[in-house]
Amino acid sequence: MKMNFIATHEQTLRISKKSLLSLIVIVFLLVTKLSGQDNKLTIDWNKTIATSRTTSTLQVVENPALRPSSSIHANTFKFLKDLGADYVRYVPWFPYPKMAVAELKRPTKTETFWDFTYLDSTMEAIMQATSGHSVVINFSTTPLWMWKTNDSVRYPENPYEVFWAYNDGVDLRDTTMKEIAGYYARLFSWYTKGGFTDELGKFHKSNHHYKIPYWEVLNEPDLEHNIPVEKYTKMYDAIVGEIKKISPTTKFIGVSLAFNARPEYFEYFLNSKNHKPGIPIDGISYHFYGTRSYPDQSLENYQYGFFDKADAFLEKVKFIESIRKRLSPKTITTINEIGTIIGSNTGDDIPKEYWNLSGAMYAYIYIELTKMGIDVAGESQLVGYPTQFPDVSMMNWQNGKPNSRYWILKLIKDNFGPGDKLVKTDVSNADIISQAFITASGKKILLINPRSKEVKINLPIETKNATATYVDVNTAENAPAQIQLSDNTITLTPFEVAVVNLN
C-alpha cells in the first residue's frame, strides 16, 4: 500500500513537471508572438519569381466636381499632374449627357447639332495634366437617339443634373453600325485632326491636335445597354475600323466589362475569327470593386470581406489570362477600375480608416497582378462625391486634398514599375502582406497591414538603418511620411502601407 502511494506520488510529480514545462513553453510562445518575434520576413534576393510588366495608374470619370467652376478643380488636376502616371483612363459618363455626348440631337436634312462646349474643357484639363504620359480615352456614352427606345430622347438642360435614364435601349437603329462608327470617327477627328466634316458636308474646326495613343471602345457593355458579346464585337470592329483610318498608330482596348465572371465574353472577343480582317485586338479591360458582405457591415468586419473578394477576383483573373494567352497572347490586359464600394450616399458614414483600408486592398491587388504579368492596374477613381460614389474618391470633395487612396497609389507608382524583379518573399504572419522588389533604384520591400490592429515585423538584417516611407490613418490627406529604421524591425499601424528602401 505504501509502495503504491509513493509510486502514485512520483507519477503526479512527473505530470506536474510536464504541465509546468508546457505552460512555460506556451507563455514563451505567447510573449514571443506579442513581441512580434513570429512576424518574421524572409527574402531570397537571388530568387526571381516574376519580372514586372505592371503600370499603376488611375481612372478619371467626368462629373461636375471636375468642372472649371468647381472649388476643387485646380487642386484635382494639380495632383493628377503630380502623379505623373501613364495609361490614365478618362471616361465621360452617361449620367451627365451634356458633358459626355457631342451630338445630343439627331441630324436633320438641313441641320446638325454638334456641341463640344462641355466636353472640351475637361478634355483639355486631362491632356494638360497628363502631358508627357500616355492616356486611354473612352467617350463611352453613345447618343441615345441612335438606339431604339420607347420614349423620345430627352436629357436635362442643366449639364450638371444627373440623369440615369440616358442609358435606355438595347438595339441600335442602324444595324450596319455605320452611324455609330461615323459618330466616333468625327469625335476622334475633333480632338486629333483639328476638326471634322459633319453628316451634311460642313467642316467644324476645333484646333485640337492631341495625340491619343489608346482608345477604349465603350464602357461596361454588360451593364450599359446590355450588349451581348456578338453585338459588341461588331460595334468594336466598326468603330475601330473608322478610327484606324484616321490614326493608324492608335491602339484599341475592348470589352471593359463590369462583371468579369463571364468567360464567354473573352472567349468570343479574343478570337480573331470573330473580327473583321485587319481589326486589331490590342488590349482588353475589365473591373473589380470590393464590397461589403452585407448591408450595415462594420469596418471591423468588411476589412475581411474586401480581401476575400479580392482573392476571388484574382482567381478569375488567372482564368481570363489563360483564355487571353491561348487566343491572343499579344493582347495586353488593363484592369482599369479597381476600388471599393460600401454604398455610401452622403459620405458622412465613411470612417477615416476606410480610405487606408481601401488603398491597402489596391496595393495587395497590385502585387498579385504584377506576379501574373498584368499590364495595367488602374485605381478607381480620382473624384467621387456625395450621390456620385463618394466611397471611390481619391480626393476630398470638400477641400480638394488627396486622401490615403491617392497617396498609396503615388507611393506604389513612385517606387515600382515595369522591369522590376519580384523576388521570393515569405512572412510567418499570414495577416501581413509583403513583396520584395529589385528595382532600377535598388532593393525595396512593399509592406501592407490589411487588419485593424498594430503589428511588429522582423525584417532581414540588411534592412537595419533603411528608410521606410508610409501612408497610414495619421498621414491621412498629407504626403507619405518617412522614418529611418534604427534596427531591423518595423511596426505597421492598422491598414498601413509602407515601402522600405534598402539603398
Give per-residue pLDDT as tens, 457-471: 999 999 999 999 999
**pLDDT recorded at residue 255:** 97
Q: What are phi and psi of 315, to 5 degrees?
A: -65, -40
Q: For the CA atoms of 485, 490, 493, 494, what is the dihedral angle to 10 degrees?
A: 140
69 C-beta neighbours (distance < 10 Å), count: 8
Looking at per-residue pLDDT, the higher value among 136 and 305 belongs to 136
- Tell me which of 385, 418, 451 is where a domain ends: 418
Q: Are residues 370 and 411 in the same domain?
A: yes
DSSP three-state, residue 130: coil
Q: Are residues 80 and 129 in the same domain?
A: yes
Q: Cis peptide leading into 297, omega within 30 of 0?
A: no
Q: What are phi and psi of 164, to 5 degrees?
A: -75, -15
- Where are the alpha helices (H) located in 198-282, listed in sequence order? 229-246, 263-269
Q: Are residues 29 and 125 in the same domain?
A: no
Q: Are residues 323 and 441 in the same domain?
A: no
**pLDDT recorded at residue 38:** 66
**pLDDT recorded at residue 153:** 84
- Tell me which of 394, 418, 442 is where a domain ends: 418
What is the per-residue DSSP string for 283-327? EEEEEEEEE-SSTT--HHHHHHHHHHHHHHHHHHHHHHHHHHHHH
Examine the pLDDT at 6 and tell me if it is beyond 50.
no
**pLDDT recorded at residue 299:** 76
Looking at per-residue pLDDT, the higher value among 88 and 167 belongs to 88
Of 107, 19, 36, which Cα lies nearest the Cα of 492?
A: 36
| Interval 311-339 mean pLDDT | 97
Domain hosting residue 10, numbered range: 1-34
Examine the pLDDT at 293 and tell me if it is beyond 80.
no
Q: Are residues 148 and 88 in the same domain?
A: yes
Examine the pLDDT at 28 and tell me if it is beyond 90.
no
Q: Are residues 249 and 353 in the same domain?
A: yes
**pLDDT recorded at residue 250:** 98
Q: Is residue 181 very low, low, confident or very high in pLDDT (cuts 50, 70, 90)?
A: very high
Examine the pLDDT at 368 and tell me if it is beyond 80.
yes
Contact by Cβ (8 Å): 443, 437:
yes
Q: Are residues 6 and 59 in the same domain?
A: no
Q: Provide the β-strand partners of residue 287.
A: 337
| Interval 134-151 mean pLDDT | 95
- The residue type of 465 is N
Q: Strand 214-216 vs strand 135-137: parallel, antiparallel, or unpaired?
A: parallel
Count of domains forming the chain: 3
Q: What is the rounded distance in angstroms from the CA atom of residue 375 to the CA atom of residue 251? A: 14
Contact by Cβ (8 Å): 418, 85:
no
Examine the pLDDT at 143 and tell me if it is beyond 60.
yes
Q: Are residues 318 and 448 in the same domain?
A: no
Contact by Cβ (8 Å): 246, 192:
yes
Q: What is the rounded distance in angstroms from the CA atom of residue 140 to the CA atom of residue 74? A: 25
Residue-wise pLDDT for 32-65, tens only, equals 444 444 689 999 999 999 999 999 999 999 999 9
Residue-wise pLDDT for 189-225, tens only, equals 999 999 999 999 999 999 999 999 999 999 999 999 9
Q: What does DSSP assign to residue 147?
A: B
Contact by Cβ (8 Å): 91, 136:
no
How many residues comprise the chain? 503
- Tell me which of 375, 390, 418 is where a domain ends: 418
Contact by Cβ (8 Å): 480, 429:
no
Q: CATH number for the domain including 437?
A: 2.60.40.1180
What is the per-residue DSSP string for 175-208? TTSHHHHHHHHHHHHHHHSSEEE-TTS-EEE---
| Interval 429-447 mean pLDDT | 96
**pLDDT recorded at residue 24:** 47
Residue-wise pLDDT for 80-123, tens only, equals 999 999 999 999 999 999 999 999 999 999 999 999 999 999 99
Q: How far is CA 434 from CA 37, 222, 428, 497, in A?
A: 16, 35, 11, 10
Q: What is the rounded distance in angstroms from the CA atom of residue 490 to the CA atom of residue 499? A: 11
Examine the pLDDT at 71 and tell me if it is beyond 60.
yes
Q: Are residues 218 and 144 in the same domain?
A: yes
**pLDDT recorded at residue 35:** 43
Q: What does DSSP assign to residue 19?
A: H
Examine the pLDDT at 29 and tell me if it is beyond 60.
no
**pLDDT recorded at residue 16:** 54
Q: Are residues 22 and 87 in the same domain?
A: no
Q: What is the rounded distance in angstroms from the CA atom of residue 429 to the CA atom of residue 432? A: 6
Examine the pLDDT at 8 and tell me if it is beyond 80.
no
Averaged confidence pLDDT in the chain: 92
Q: Is residue 261 very low, low, confident or very high in pLDDT (cuts 50, 70, 90)?
A: confident
| Largest pairwise CA distance in the chain | 121
| Interval 325-345 mean pLDDT | 96
Q: Are residues 92 and 3 in the same domain?
A: no
Residue 19 burial (CB < 10 Å; 0-12/13-18/19+)?
exposed
Lowest pLDDT segment from 2-11, 35-44, 285-294: 2-11
Q: What is the rounded distance in angstroms from the CA atom of residue 80 to the CA atom of residue 60? A: 9
Q: Are residues 48 and 197 in the same domain?
A: no
Examine the pLDDT at 503 and tell me if it is beyond 80.
no
